[in-house]
A and B are shown apart, each in its own frame.
Chain A
Amino acid sequence: MLSLRRKVVNAVMLSLTGVCTFLAVGTLLFILGYLFFHGGTSLTTDFFTKLPTPVGESGGGMANALLGSAKLLLLASCIGIPIGFLGGVYLAEFGGSSFSFVVRYTTDLLNGVPSIVIGIFAYTLIVLPQGHFSTLSGGLALGVMMIPIAIRSSEDFLRAVPVSLREGAMALGASKAKTIVTVVIPAAKAGLITGIMLNLARVAGETAPLLFTSFSNRFWSPGWEQPTAALPVMIYTYAISPYADWKRQAWSAGFVLLMLVLTINICARMLLSKRGSALR
């Protein structure tokens, strides 16, 4: 017979774990609901089409910040995805044991470096010698942040491809390079694309490394050599500003950024569960 005390402890503790789950999930729903309510209602078409107004004036939008974020992400992808992807191919297909261990360990190490430290790195590398803030340095900072995630996700998805597929291709006389390009990579395609999407979603919300690399700009930023506005940085500067209208716009920008990040996340995971289920 169970004593009453043990029964009570059992029931109480198990329900407490349910409460914990409820709190964690509730936080997400609260964040979504609150941003929908505050950001969604204050979102206007001006937000997407107009430049910011001079300090203190109400109205205006963040068109330049949207374009700035897009440019930074493009630059980051050009740096982060090729290096990360090919590095992942090396680890999955060619790597010996000890050197691969060193590469994996370093990758994890780089992945754990706080984003603001990566910002300092891009600053000392580009901003300091050039003497001015630039889109280029911001893109480099985000690109460096993308590399470790790209390398680990592409390695994982390439490894998930069954060895029998590789053996089949090689048995037909294909060289190793040909096997990788025509058999292994196409088989892992869904996973690789998912990895890239999640990676982009992560760096799209990064603010800290941009504060002193791409800085900010209240106007359009042509080319790659000038400072540029970016959506996350605008949220930060507008949120801590004293103006009511800027705070309203910070909510709109937060709403747009969150929707963007969550949409990419949900799409990527759905793609993976639908197409990649055979490989997992």
Chain B
Amino acid sequence: MAASSTTNISARPSGRASAFWQRLRSGDDIAYVITLTCALTILAITALLVFELFENSAVPRDKFGWSFLVTSTWDPVAGQFGALPFIYGTVVTSALALLMGIPLGVGAAIFLAELAPTKISNGLTFLIELLAAVPSVIFGLLGIFVLVPALIALEPAIRAVLGWTPAFSGPFYGVSVLSAGVVLSVMIVPFIISISREVILAVPTEQREGALALGATKWETTWDVVIPFARKGIMGSIFLALARSLGETMAVTMVIGNEPKIHESLFAPGYSIAAVIANEFTEATGELYLGALIELGLVLFGLTIIINGLARVLVLSTTKKGAS
């Protein structure tokens, strides 16, 4: 839509500059310029964000180069900084969260979209969306005081079943990579449910009718026809959930144990990128230490941008297909 479509034609002056001022006076173009400025502000803020992260992490980038990402010594006193334990912690906790969150979230989405009557489905979805609004520090609070004691009580049972794997060996003090993974899975499930439900609802009814007419059971229809149709959108919801869990700070910081080492056991404490920034930022002294933490922020930023970008593409491509 052209901005000047309603300008008074008879009032149009000849000179270019004076034409501009004339048009500004009409009100339409003032509104255009003001709103355009605000839209440009978004671009400016994002550009400034990237610039600041890049600029302020220059010292460790010059000193360590790419080895920052692959070495695992984090010793602020000696001035040695390697980000691997944090990257490992972030990736492993998020993977655990997805492992538990995907079946739960997709299962609930199927129930809400395919089985529950519309009224009940809308009511339950409302409750689940409220769960998504709970602040992360509250999840952390419950993590410390409810989840950690519960996991300590469950530990013998977990060990009895899975104790033979190295992932569940060694001592368990409650705060651990496992606890962080469980808290994260609870936090991401609402996202998976609400988006997946929407893409499943967008699957055309004819698809279901066709399968049912061929004699498929309700479950076979859902699993073999509806889910494959909504596959990309569900993948998108999972990527969005992943991006959120990678950047999640408070809940993870409170239960992960905050130890910058890589252990193969999930029972052992660990550390994540967001958690180390939260814990050490205020006490970081010197350009190198602070710069290393900001570089971690840059790494986290890069990770979430990539994952979010993939998610958008996937969700967009299904909702468009479903709408047509």
Distance to closest chain A CB from B132 (angstroms): 9
A278 interface residue (CB < 8 Å to B) = no
The 0/1 profile, CB within 8 Å of A marked 1, for residues 194-232 of chain B is: 000000000000000000000101111001000000000
Given the known interface contacts A25-B127, A87-B42, A113-B301, the answer about A20 and B35 at a Cβ–Cβ threshold of 8 Å is: no
Pick the contact of A93 from B35, B37, B108, B114 — CB < 8 Å? Answer: B35
| Measured CA separation A7–B220 after assembly (Å) | 10
Query: Would A6 and B220 count as touching, CB distance under 8 A?
Result: yes
A10 interface residue (CB < 8 Å to B) = yes
| Measured CA separation A155–B312 after assembly (Å) | 18
Number of interface residues of B (CB under 8 A): 91
Q: Which of chain A's residues have a CB closer than 8 A to the CB of B146?
A: 34
A275 interface residue (CB < 8 Å to B) = no
| Measured CA separation A91–B36 after assembly (Å) | 9
| Measured CA separation A254–B144 after assembly (Å) | 13
Distance to closest chain A CB from B269 (angstroms): 14
Stretch with Cβ within 8 A of B (4 or more), from A51-59, A70-78, A173-181, A187-195:
A173-181
Distance to closest chain B CB from A34 (angstroms): 7
Given the known interface contacts A94-B3, A115-B249, A116-B274, the answer about A175 and B26 at a Cβ–Cβ threshold of 8 Å is: yes
| Measured CA separation A21–B104 after assembly (Å) | 8
Stretch with Cβ within 8 A of B (4 or more), from A40-48, A60-68, A101-109:
A101-109
Total A-B residue contacts, Cβ distance less than 8 Å:
271
Query: Would A24 and B131 count as touching, CB distance under 8 A?
Result: yes
Pick the contact of B5 from A109, A125, A148, A176 — CB < 8 Å? Answer: A176
The 0/1 profile, CB within 8 Å of B marked 1, for residues 98-140 of chain A is: 0100110111111011111111110111001000000000000
Query: Would A177 and B38 count as touching, CB distance under 8 A?
Result: no
Query: Would B308 and A109 count as touching, CB distance under 8 A?
Result: yes
Q: Which of chain B's residues have a CB closer than 8 A to the CB of A9?
A: 217, 219
Query: Would B52 and A124 count as touching, CB distance under 8 A?
Result: yes
Interface size class of A (residues with CB under 8 A): 35 or more
Q: Which of chain A's residues have a CB closer than 8 A to the CB of B300?
A: 114, 116-117
Pick the contact of B112 from A21, A87, A103 — CB < 8 Å? Answer: A21
| Measured CA separation A107–B46 after assembly (Å) | 8
Pick the contact of A107 from B30, B42, B138, B297 — CB < 8 Å? Answer: B42
| Measured CA separation A29–B146 after assembly (Å) | 14
A262 interface residue (CB < 8 Å to B) = yes
B282 interface residue (CB < 8 Å to A) = yes
Q: Which of chain B's residues have a CB closer than 8 A to the CB of A31?
A: 131, 134, 138, 142
Query: Would A120 and B297 count as touching, CB distance under 8 A?
Result: yes
Distance to closest chain A CB from B266 (angstroms): 21
**Among B52, B134, B248, B278, which residue has the most Cβ atoms of chain A within 10 A?**
B134
Q: Which of chain B's residues have a CB closer than 8 A to the CB of A212?
A: 281-282
Query: Would B137 and A205 count as touching, CB distance under 8 A?
Result: yes
**Among B27, B55, B249, B281, which residue has the most Cβ atoms of chain A within 10 A?**
B249
| Measured CA separation A9–B218 after assembly (Å) | 10
Given the known interface contacts A14-B115, A116-B274, the answer about A207 and B219 at a Cβ–Cβ threshold of 8 Å is: no
Query: Would A176 and B6 count as touching, CB distance under 8 A?
Result: yes
Query: Would A18 and B294 count as touching, CB distance under 8 A?
Result: no
A265 interface residue (CB < 8 Å to B) = yes
9 examples of A-B residue contacts, CB within 8 angstroms: A14-B115, A28-B131, A87-B38, A112-B243, A114-B300, A114-B304, A208-B274, A236-B137, A265-B130
Closest A-B pairs by Cβ, 3 of them: A205-B135, A114-B247, A20-B107
A20-B111, A239-B145 are known; give 13 further A-B pairs, CB within 8 A: A6-B217, A9-B219, A20-B107, A23-B108, A28-B131, A35-B138, A89-B35, A112-B307, A115-B249, A205-B137, A262-B134, A265-B129, A265-B133
- A: which residues have CB within 8 A of B? 2, 6-7, 9-10, 13-14, 16-21, 23-25, 27-29, 31, 34-35, 82-87, 89-91, 93-95, 99, 102-103, 105-110, 112-121, 123-125, 128, 144, 147-148, 151, 170, 175-178, 180, 198, 201-202, 204-208, 211-212, 215, 232, 235-236, 239-240, 247, 250-251, 254, 257-258, 261-262, 265-266, 269
